[in-house]
Amino acid sequence: MRRVTWTIFVVAAAACSKMAETSPPPANAARPAVAGGAGSLELGDGAQAAPFVPGRFASAIQKNTRATHALQVISGDETSSFVLNLDPDGSATVCRGWRYLYFNDGPEVHTSERIREQLGYRGRWTRRADEVDVDIRLANDVCPRVGQHSHLIPNHAARWHLRCLAVAPRPHGTLVAPALACRSSNASPDFGEDEPHVADGVLPGPWLILGAGHGLRIKIDMTSVTGHPPPAVRVEPSRDRIEADAWQTAF
């Protein structure tokens, strides 16, 4: 299953199982684990490794879903932002947030889900050959904690580990500007951890893709909860600086 559809799939699967009178899968049902580090994974033809320079990296992602599943009509509106600061002295901070609206309507089921979250992290980064390791812990002094939920409540990990690689676009690729591409150890099976910030379809596999400067805006339009057909993905440099609260406004 494609990672970009995971949040939608969790709620859709629960609704469909209710129609079949079977127990819904837990929100942390197993997903394919992220294996290996950033530098050991293939970037594909659309990007290449580039020199790393410490700084501020950010992305905002808009995921829209309009799909059918069995007899259900599913719509989703999800916005996320991820701001990573890697200072020259080795200190690191993250502020990430996401808003999620989901509606599932069918002959016997009418469900909805609303989530608004913001979390801050603080820690250190180290350089290892071409890769950058980022180790951070939850820290409410980085940005205010927000936690508003209607039904599903993520159980967030206290620690995050990112392995990142500076990348530059190649001609004809989806990536359009230099970025920091990261893999997270908090991928599977934790609902609501890295998934809101993962952009599948830009590089091979699931990556957190963060642009330098103002950051990158990534728009993902889905017409299926199974990943077939694949989502339409558009990437562009942000015209204004992506701030920590960018997740609060759809684009």
Question: pLDDT tens digits, residue range 20-36?
Answer: 332 333 333 333 333 33
Q: Is 189 helix (H, G, I), strand (E, B) or coil?
A: coil
Rounded distance, CA 145 to CA 74, Å?
29
pLDDT at 84 over 80: yes
Q: Does residue 251 belong to any structural domain of this protein?
A: no
Q: Does residue 247 belong to any structural domain of this protein?
A: no
Q: Does residue 83 belong to any structural domain of this protein?
A: yes
Give percent above pLDDT 70 in the chain: 83
Give percent above pLDDT 90 in the chain: 70
Smallest Cα–Cα separation from 72: which of 100, 119, 114, 107?
107
How confident is the model at residue 63, as a pLDDT? 96
How confident is the model at residue 206, as a pLDDT? 87
Q: Are 47 and 199 in contact (CB under 8 A)?
A: no
Q: Total domain count for the chain?
A: 1
Q: What residues contact residue 26 under an 8 Å CB cut-off, 6+ apart?
A: none
Region of poorest pLDDT, from 130-139, 164-173, 181-190? 181-190
Region of poorest pLDDT, from 94-103, 218-227, 240-249? 218-227
Range of the domain at 207: 3-241
Rounded distance, CA 175 to CA 167, Å?
9
Q: Does residue 230 belong to any structural domain of this protein?
A: yes
* Confidence band for 179, pLDDT divided at 50, 70 and 90: very high
Q: Does residue 97 belong to any structural domain of this protein?
A: yes
Q: What residues contact residue 172 under an 8 Å CB cut-off, 6+ apart?
A: 45, 46
Amino acid at residue number 191: F
Best-predicted range by mean pLDDT among 26-35, 68-77, 175-184? 175-184
Please write the tens of the pLDDT for every residue from 107-116. Answer: 888 899 999 9
Per DSSP, which regions of 12-109 are E strands?
47-49, 55-69, 72-86, 91-105
Q: Does residue 250 belong to any structural domain of this protein?
A: no
Q: Does residue 211 belong to any structural domain of this protein?
A: yes
Region of poorest pLDDT, from 15-19, 63-67, 132-136? 15-19
Query: 25 vs 11, 133, 182, CA distance in Å?
Result: 9, 33, 29
What is the pTM (predicted TM-score) of this model?
0.84
* Confidence band for 225, pLDDT divided at 50, 70 and 90: confident
Region of poorest pLDDT, from 51-55, 187-191, 231-235? 187-191
* Confidence band for 17, pLDDT divided at 50, 70 and 90: very low
- Between β-strands 55-69 and 159-169, what pairing exists: parallel, antiparallel or unpaired? unpaired
Rounded distance, CA 213 to CA 192, Å?
26
